Amino acid sequence: MKTKLFLGSLICLFSLLIISCGKDDSTPSDEKGDFIKMKINGVDRVLYSTKANWSREGTQLEFTGIIGEDEFIEIKIGNTTTKLPAGEYNTDQESPFRIIAFYRVIRDNVKITYSAINQSDHKEDYFEIKIDKITNDHVEGTFSGTLIRHKDRVMLDKTTITNGKFSLTIEPFK
């Protein structure tokens, strides 16, 4: 009886081990479903809790993602009158579409924000985004750039984003 109970317990534990070590297909690293991924200062990052939505009456696209518990990225592109078409955009070009990119990280309980925007006072910040496909409810593309942290118009440091790629469902404008 003790042998049967022991074997039954062993089989249950082994089954639990196999189930808990299985691959989680819900992660965005396999590029199925919604995802944002990039390299930050050369380190691969996959963002979870991604979200994209229209704002400003459907003329500005905003998308965000969380990296772990202490990192966050937010990208906004659009204007006040025209729907965003597929195309290539950057913070240095003259364009009716404004780009704002933020990368926030918490270090030693201090929130640090890096940014790049159109017509910035800083020559060091730059951000580019390529919208390959866009509909009312889905967007795909790539992005990269140098985002800076500054205080009183003085650059303190910068962070580099490369190999950014995204595919997101866009929530409807409310």
Give the 3-state secondary structure of residue 17: helix
93 vs 127: CA distance, rounded Å: 10
Q: Which one, of 116, 119, 138, lies nearest residue 127 by Cα?
A: 116
Residue 59 domain boundaries:
33-171
Span 14-35, average pLDDT = 47
Give the highest mean pLDDT range of 24-28, 31-35, 97-101: 97-101
Span 26-47, average pLDDT = 79
Asked whether residue 5 is domain-assigned, the answer is no
End-to-end Cα distance, the chain? 64
Q: Which of 15-29, 50-64, 79-93 has the lowest mean pLDDT?
A: 15-29
pLDDT digit string, tens, across residues 113-129: 999 998 777 778 899 99
Asked whether residue 108 is domain-assigned, the answer is yes
Dihedral sign from CA coordinates of 63, 143, 126, 86: negative
CA contacts within 13 A on the Cβ side of 167: 7
141 vs 122: CA distance, rounded Å: 26
Q: What is the pLDDT confidence band of residue 169, given thresholds at 50, 70 and 90?
A: very high
Span 1-18, average pLDDT = 40
Span 15-25, average pLDDT = 35
Q: What is the pLDDT confidence band of residue 23, given thresholds at 50, 70 and 90?
A: very low
Span 31-54, average pLDDT = 90
Asked whether residue 166 is domain-assigned, the answer is yes
Q: Which of 6-15, 88-97, 117-126 has the lowest mean pLDDT?
A: 6-15
Asked whether residue 10 is domain-assigned, the answer is no
Q: Is the pLDDT of residue 155 over 90?
A: no
Top-confidence residue, 174 or 57: 57
The whole model's pTM is what?
0.78
Q: How many domains does the chain have?
A: 1
